């Protein structure tokens, strides 16, 4: 049997169909998570977030992020009493890597989240707190190794 141009076109079309099927299967098998389930409400309240960041800049408070093998700690270098606060370790890669903790009525100091069980990679430390009736927000990207 002789190989003709009709055979070549047929092989090309079959190869193209196989390749497109592979790409379609790969596209549908990718696991993706939303940043937050209530992202629309968070977007509407973003001006409050900007106000918290401006409060931090105006107060001159410079939180420090310390990473060791057991935890990620945030040190607030201020002697005021915290009314309430929340620290979150956000993983852009997977929702499974997110960690969160809250505290109430504590003297400013070190607040941490354990890193046991977390995969290495990039994370964002997000800290919200209220001190003397003023709300503050701090975030910093870190890499866990």
Domain of residue 53 covers 39-144
Q: What angle do CA 10, 15, 21 make, to 5 degrees?
A: 130
- Pair 17, 62 in one domain: no
Range 127-131 average pLDDT: 86
DSSP designation for 131:
E
- Claim to verify: residue 97 and residue 121 sit in the same structural domain: yes
pLDDT digits (tens, 9 = 90+) for 13-39: 999 999 999 999 999 988 776 667 777
Distance separating alpha carbons of residues 92 and 103, to the nearest angstrom = 24
Handedness of CA 71, 77, 80, 82 (dihedral sign): negative
Same domain membership, residue 86 and residue 103: yes
Percent of the chain surpassing pLDDT 90? 26
CATH value at residue 81: 2.60.40.3760
Q: Give the best-scoring range by mean pLDDT among 62-66, 74-78, 95-99, 124-128.
A: 124-128
Judge if 21 and 60 occupy the same domain.
no
- Based on the fold, state whether residues 60 and 81 are members of the same structural domain: yes
Q: What is the average pLDDT value for the chain, to the nearest integer? A: 84
Residues 19 and 60 in one domain: no
Candidates 95, 94, 84; CA nearest to 127 is 84
What would the DSSP string read from start to end of 12-55? HHHHHHHHHHHHHHHHHH-----S-TTHHHHHHTHHHHHHHHHH
pLDDT tens, residue by residue, 90-126: 888 877 788 888 876 555 567 778 888 888 888 999 9
Same domain, 24 and 62: no
């Amino acid at each position: 049997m002789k190989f003709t141009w009709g055979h070549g076109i047929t092989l090309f079309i079959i190869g193209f169909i196989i390749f497109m099927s592979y790409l379609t299967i790969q596209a549908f098998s990718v696991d993706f998570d939303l940043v937050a389930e209530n992202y629309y409400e968070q977007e509407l309240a973003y001006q409050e977030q900007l106000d918290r960041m401006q409060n931090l800049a105006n107060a001159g408070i410079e939180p420090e992020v310390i990473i060791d093998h057991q935890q990620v700690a945030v040190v607030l270098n201020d002697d005021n009493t915290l009314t309430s606060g929340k620290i979150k370790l956000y993983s852009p890669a997977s929702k499974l890597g997110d960690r969160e903790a809250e505290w109430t009525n504590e003297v400013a100091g070190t607040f941490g989240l354990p890193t046991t069980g977390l995969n290495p990679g990039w994370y964002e430390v997000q800290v919200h707190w209220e001190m003397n009736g003023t709300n503050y927000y701090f975030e910093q990207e870190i890499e866990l190794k």
